[in-house]
Structure 1
Amino acid sequence: MNQDASPSLFSEQGPLARAIDGFRPRAAQVEMAAAVELALHDQIPLVVEAGTGTGKTYAYLAPVLAAGKKVVVSTGSRNLQEQLFHRDLPTLARAMEYHQPVALLKGRANYLCLERMALLDDAVPGLSPEGLADLQKVRRFAPMTTSGDVGDIPGLPERSEILPLVTSTNDNCLGRDCGHYQDCHLVKARTRAMEAQVVVVNHHLFFADMAVRDTGFGQLIPDAEAYILDEAHQLPEIAGQYFGQSQSSRQFIELARDLRLAQKVEARDMAQLGKAADQLERNSLDLRLAFGLGAGRGQLRPALARPEVGQALARLKDSLGFCHEVLKLCLGRGEQLDQCFERLIGLRTQLESVTRVEENGYSYWYDCSRLHVGLHKTPLSVAERFSAELAREGVSWIFTSATLAVGESFAHFCADLGLERCRTLQLDSPFDYSRQSRLCVPRYLPETNGPGRGRVLANSLVSTLERVPGGSFFLCTSYQVMNEVAEVLRARLDRTILVQGEDNKVRLLEQFGQDGRAVLVATGSFWEGIDVRGNALQCVVIDKLPFSAPDDPLLSARLEDCLRRGEDGFARVQLPKAIITLKQGVGRLIRDVEDRGVLVITDNRLVNRAYGADFIRSLPAMPRTRSLAGLAEFLSTLE
């Protein structure tokens, strides 16, 4: 493909303009497309920060389709993955008359498992009435689906308790020994992906594939000539999850449940098997309780030193040993029993690895939800492993996001991924922030960690939020502040107040958009990947600069590692990560050339600490004020 192809694709008389209503060439989009084209040709990795409104999706897809290369496109979430596959890719393919096969591939937890569904009774012990209702939805859906994608099941909650029972995991999948292998939805999806020219995946599946390849046992996604990683700012953190090890008490409970199913089908005379399963489940639950009643995260080393945790872990290991002895007596009696035996061996080995906490170069930590505890061993750096991937011959790599640089430097991102030789490009948003927006850091703010801070902030901003003609986001850095803010706003503001967690994300956003004047109070998951255009969103409040909590176990391990190497951990780790996260939150406000709105950041450190200037330099050039009254004047023009 020649170097003039990108301008012709994006010109006013080009194929995109002819086929897409309202398409207008954008200089930054053409520049990015030309850079992608060059990277496809010379195979030097390309890192592009493309500001909101650049049109980066078309800028990387169009050159790849025109070049006819086999490509894997990886995005940051399943929602973005589906948007790209169902909306952006078909639009471009029609415009460019592209007729090669394309495929969408998700992780196995997104597909119905025919084997596990066949084993389920209508009356599943322990299921709530809601869970039983969800099971009926799944049963009605199963005969009609061709994809088996659980995301297509009408009315099924994202976190339904039925999902682990009707989908498979690496642990419980029977593979080629399964009686439903020929009809398996996951196998069919992977086959389509292997045969396709363009495959759309997400980052979790991308790194799961790398981890599987490391074991030498196959692959999950096809080899490609080009890899495009969108929302690339998420890569270092997600990569750490897959290049380390994690184990959850949920895995032991699911094994116990599957042991009971296997006994019922293949070993009715083995009463000991039921006792072993009961003991395993009981000791798994006891391990969760040993970590305390609250949810949260912490360092694993000191936790294992506590007597109650050490004893609970010892009892869990004993029950795994008991299961091992009983299952040995059942070997050869059926596929499910044999598969449970193999899972048991793997889980015992993994448990030994994640609780042997002396190895250097890793962070050992735990996290607790209401029902389960996860034990984790995460590498402090993925640069060495990922740089080996970048060294593959004959492959082009493109990394892009709206937030990769700190100021004008890509050093933080490149160092995290081991990108020593690459080309970088920073493209500003085409939006006129000086006309479309205002930034306010109000005076007289409470201390960032003061008691009842959320209530103080909400009370001080009620009159400002009342003046916003459209809707507002109130983005918080903790659940405690989120709940305090919501409580005050519901008492004092005559608007619909929506709160993260009270419904699923998609329905909350639908309700927010339809209302037009609502206030959505949320934490982390609403800081990125949200696209609300027009008057429905005219104000974004951010409660605090998003530094990671100092007691975050992975952060503290990385800071210790920096200290040992004589580096400044704050400048090397904490500050760049916080800047990129803030840029994501700020990016929710202006999503279109017609959007107008105000950004309020209620953290004095932005103006009275030296590093505040680093944050400001990384944000769009919004006119700034410290007066909420001054902000009211701009808000009055938004009617």
Structure 2
Amino acid sequence: MSVLADASRDALSEGGALASRLDGFVARPAQQRLTAAVAEAIERRGVLLAEAGTGTGKTYAYLVPALLSGLKTIVSTGTRALQDQLYHRDLPRVREALGTGLRSALLKGRANYLCHYRLHQAKGDARFASPEQASQFQRIVAWAGRTRAGDMAELEGLADDSPLLPQVTSTVDNCLGSECPFWDECFVVQARQRAQAADLVVVNHHLLLADLALKQEGFGEILPGAQAFVIDEAHQLPELAASFFGEGFGMRQVQELGRDSLAECKQTTGALAVVQAPVRALEQALRELRAAMEALPPRGTRYRALTLPAVADGFDVLADALGALEDALAPLAQTSPGFDACTARARDLGERLGRWRDGGSASDSFDDEAADDEALLDAVVGEGGGDDAARLAAAAARGGEVYWYELSPRGFRCQRTPLDVSAPLRQHRERSHAAWVFTSATLAVGNGFHHIGHKLGLFDPDTLLEPSPFDWPRQALCYLPGNLPEPNDRRFGTAMLDAVRPVLQASNGRAFLLFASHRALREAAAALEGGPWPLFVQGRAPKAELLRRFRESGNGVLLGSASFREGVDVAGDALSVVMIDKLPFAAPDDPVFEARLDAVRRRGGNPFRDEQLPQAVIALKQGVGRLIRTESDRGVLVLCDPRLTGKPYGRVFMQSLPDFTVTRRIEDVRVFFARM
């Protein structure tokens, strides 16, 4: 064992540095094994793939060797919330316990920082939908005068989706870079300067991938010179990487271009007369295109969208409107950095739209003659896929990208997504000559790492599987209700709720009910309304607010969908039941996922075994992980999908879960809660 591994184990041992200096710290053998493996990988610049079940203490396990190594280290987390927790809570504790003076920095994407220029523009042209918005804007203005970091997370009570955020933060599209009159005061520049000088930098996956995908954002390399990378919540990385290594544009980007172009007119005499008409034409083109897209499914392929003449014509009109705006802005580009940036944005959006509309080159489009090959159609349509699936298969067979769209209530997004990101991830990793540690509580399927290893582009990495150290047979019970119909049976929803109600009565609420679809969630909420337990339903309030109310209620029932399967931590008595209605297989209407399945099929693989099943197993493990968060938690997991016992693949799911006691008797559930 290496010197670093020995030192890391000692620090996390009974009587070690952390036990001596941190109240409540308990030495865990699993944590010591994990920290030794991380240290070995760091010291020899290797690659480690490690699953550490809930309760292992993986954050301390990788922070200790990272700090003791003295190497420049990038730690990447799955969400901004986890990033803040790691930087503001976990890292200071470990650094103080170790007595190290290494410098650390927190770095987020530019949209998380106040932009002085955008705030200045908004002050002069602020329009608010309500008095509450106007009041919040004044809070932002007051805070802007005293903040040192400019991190919007400092503003409590400002929702993540607040319409004020785009008005006071910048994006890669609208940032003026070094031409900005507020460059010397820029919070993004200052944050990146601190990161350049730090020994350990905490980022999130979005920023890490922006760097890996060479999206320089006008600042050059974001994360230079790292000698070690620790990727926490690594199961999220492949899906996020697909969007970063692709390309897209959306209705909101085009709308913001129009608004910013008009806002710049205040600075230049006569500009409004030139810009106003093309902006109005652009806005009209967007409205008409979005109206035409109402006839489309919520998600689908580019081919499906453009087969509707009104939609195809709408994209043509939008392209012409972007071109007209670019022509109008071009003579004004020399008058201000803002107009120069708007001109470049109009050109870039027009080019992105053109590439998406034309489907890229013949080698990666699925709309050329190869898509109509009779053998290909027979192979795919014979499995019920239809014309869209045939074209997806053609794209997959030629290597590799799918062009698709997605509708939101008031907008749309068009995207080009690669089907396999393992090659670029591997290239970036090898080029770095750094140590790479990939860890999460949910990486393995059964006891193997083949699925996630393939997606991350890892060839024969070191692996470690540390199950959760909690006493699952004592702390938890897994209840599989009997006699439920198949999930696609119209009677399933009613039968599932009939099976769950006795559990809620035994637990007095205190439950998460997690659903595979929003429709099932809404139907369950309607059925449970007016019952003895307070209901907290996803969509009726922001996620953080729902969780706060749920914790405070004492006996609430929270109904959520996939977004509540991970990143949610409710410890203690407030949560004693997690119910999952169906095995979380990916939605069949996802064009990217469908294309991946066809790619597997074309390679001679088995789409269900190689893609659908592993992804669903990992998603189920995430949901199960909400139940037991500490050594003192106790609770019941209710899995309502009869395929767990009725299908051979159900064993793969059960083998991937903690070592529960499993029952099919509601009496055992009642006894479990009676003993609590």
TM-score by length of 1: 0.97
Aligned to 1:140: 142
Aligned to 1:546: 584
Aligned to 1:428: 467
Within-5 A mapping of 1:119-518: 119-121=121-123, 124-125=126-127, 127-212=129-214, 218-292=220-294, 296-357=298-359, 359=364, 360=395, 361-392=400-431, 394-451=433-490, 453-469=492-508, 471-491=510-530, 493-518=531-556
- The 3 A distance-change label for structure 1 pair 276 and 2 is closer
Aligned to 1:585: 623
1:616 pairs with 651, 654, 660, which one? 654
Stretch deviating more after TM superposition (118-127 or 143-152): 118-127
* Whole-angstrom CA distance in 2 between matches of 1:510 and 1:579: 29
1:557 Cα deviation (Å)?
0.4
Aligned to 1:78: 80
* Whole-angstrom CA distance in 1 between matches of 2:456 and 2:536: 38
> Which portions of structure 1, spanning 4 or more consecutive aligned residues, are displaced by more than 6 angstroms?
214-217
* Whole-angstrom CA distance in 2 between matches of 1:617 and 1:607: 12
* Whole-angstrom CA distance in 1 between matches of 2:411 and 2:491: 30
Q: Aligned to 1:540, what secondary structure does the other structure show? A: strand
- The 3 A distance-change label for structure 1 pair 406 and 201 is same
Stretch deviating more after TM superposition (352-361 or 554-563): 352-361
1:211 Cα deviation (Å)?
1.8
Within-5 A mapping of 1:110-121: 110-121=112-123
Q: Deviations over 1:593-638 (max 9, x none)?
A: 1111100011001100010001011001111112223322222222
- The 3 A distance-change label for structure 1 pair 368 and 129 is farther
Stretch deviating more after TM superposition (119-128 or 268-277): 119-128
- One-letter identity of the residue aligned with 1:608: G
* Whole-angstrom CA distance in 1 between matches of 2:527 and 2:135: 36
User: Conserved in 2, the CA contact under 8 Å of 1:9 and 1:16?
Assistant: yes
Stretch deviating more after TM superposition (69-78 or 459-468): 459-468
- The 3 A distance-change label for structure 1 pair 591 and 295 is farther
- One-letter identity of the residue aligned with 2:657: L
- One-letter identity of the residue aligned with 1:428: P
Aligned to 2:375: none
* Whole-angstrom CA distance in 2 between matches of 1:245 and 1:444: 47
1:214 Cα deviation (Å)?
7.9
Q: Aligned to 1:73, what secondary structure does the other structure show? A: strand
Stretch deviating more after TM superposition (584-593 or 346-355): 346-355
User: Conserved in 1, the CA contact under 8 Å of 2:5 and 2:65?
Assistant: no
Stretch deviating more after TM superposition (553-562 or 258-267): 258-267
* Whole-angstrom CA distance in 1 between matches of 2:278 and 2:90: 52
Stretch deviating more after TM superposition (127-136 or 612-621): 127-136
User: Conserved in 1, the CA contact under 8 Å of 2:575 and 2:627?
Assistant: yes
* Whole-angstrom CA distance in 1 between matches of 2:491 and 2:334: 62
Q: Deviations over 1:221-274 (max 9, x none)?
A: 233110000000001000001000121111110000011011222243551311
* Whole-angstrom CA distance in 2 between matches of 1:285 and 1:454: 38
* Whole-angstrom CA distance in 1 between matches of 2:587 and 2:55: 32
Q: Aligned to 1:464, what secondary structure does the other structure show? A: helix
Aligned to 2:110: 108
- Percent same amino acid at aligned positions? 42
* Whole-angstrom CA distance in 2 between matches of 1:437 and 1:215: 48
Q: Deviations over 1:342-389 (max 9, x none)?
A: 111111111112223252411211111111100011100001101111
User: Conserved in 1, the CA contact under 8 Å of 2:271 and 2:332?
Assistant: no
Stretch deviating more after TM superposition (610-619 or 333-342): 333-342
Q: Deviations over 1:378-407 (max 9, x none)?
A: 100001101111213541000000000000
1:330 Cα deviation (Å)?
2.1
1:448 Cα deviation (Å)?
1.1
Question: Structure 2 stretches of 5 or more lacking a match?
Answer: 365-394
- The 3 A distance-change label for structure 1 pair 269 and 185 is closer
* Whole-angstrom CA distance in 2 between matches of 1:423 and 1:496: 47
Q: Deviations over 1:136-194 (max 9, x none)?
A: 22122211211111121132111111111111111110000000000011111111111
Q: Deviations over 1:39-63 (max 9, x none)?
A: 0111220000001100000011101
Q: Aligned to 1:399, what secondary structure does the other structure show? A: strand
Stretch deviating more after TM superposition (384-393 or 310-319): 384-393
* Whole-angstrom CA distance in 2 between matches of 1:271 and 1:452: 62
1:528 pairs with 562, 566, 570, which one? 566
1:599 pairs with 620, 637, 661, which one? 637
- The 3 A distance-change label for structure 1 pair 57 and 269 is closer
2:99 pairs with 97, 100, 109, which one? 97
* Whole-angstrom CA distance in 1 between matches of 2:220 and 2:259: 28
- One-letter identity of the residue aligned with 1:438: L
Aligned to 1:38: 40
Stretch deviating more after TM superposition (326-335 or 226-235): 326-335
User: Conserved in 1, the CA contact under 8 Å of 2:533 and 2:556?
Assistant: yes
User: Conserved in 2, the CA contact under 8 Å of 1:285 and 1:372?
Assistant: no
CA RMSD of the aligned region, Å?
Answer: 1.8
Aligned to 2:614: 576
User: Conserved in 2, the CA contact under 8 Å of 1:364 and 1:377?
Assistant: yes
* Whole-angstrom CA distance in 2 between matches of 1:378 and 1:473: 33
TM-score by length of 2: 0.91
Q: Deviations over 1:184-209 (max 9, x none)?
A: 11111111111111100000111011
* Whole-angstrom CA distance in 2 between matches of 1:347 and 1:28: 50
User: Conserved in 2, the CA contact under 8 Å of 1:471 and 1:518?
Assistant: yes
- The 3 A distance-change label for structure 1 pair 129 and 283 is farther
Q: Aligned to 1:598, what secondary structure does the other structure show? A: strand
- The 3 A distance-change label for structure 1 pair 393 and 315 is closer
* Whole-angstrom CA distance in 2 between matches of 1:141 and 1:303: 45
Q: Deviations over 1:557-576 (max 9, x none)?
A: 01111121111111111000
* Whole-angstrom CA distance in 2 between matches of 1:269 and 1:514: 55
Stretch deviating more after TM superposition (450-459 or 323-332): 450-459
* Whole-angstrom CA distance in 2 between matches of 1:164 and 1:145: 19
* Whole-angstrom CA distance in 2 between matches of 1:40 and 1:57: 15
Q: Aligned to 2:332, what secondary structure does the other structure show? A: coil
- The 3 A distance-change label for structure 1 pair 121 and 295 is farther
* Whole-angstrom CA distance in 1 between matches of 2:295 and 2:268: 38
* Whole-angstrom CA distance in 2 between matches of 1:66 and 1:119: 46
Q: Aligned to 2:274, what secondary structure does the other structure show? A: helix
- One-letter identity of the residue aligned with 1:59: A
* Whole-angstrom CA distance in 2 between matches of 1:212 and 1:527: 31
* Whole-angstrom CA distance in 2 between matches of 1:216 and 1:569: 41
* Whole-angstrom CA distance in 2 between matches of 1:617 and 1:214: 43
* Whole-angstrom CA distance in 1 between matches of 2:443 and 2:489: 32
* Whole-angstrom CA distance in 1 between matches of 2:100 and 2:284: 56
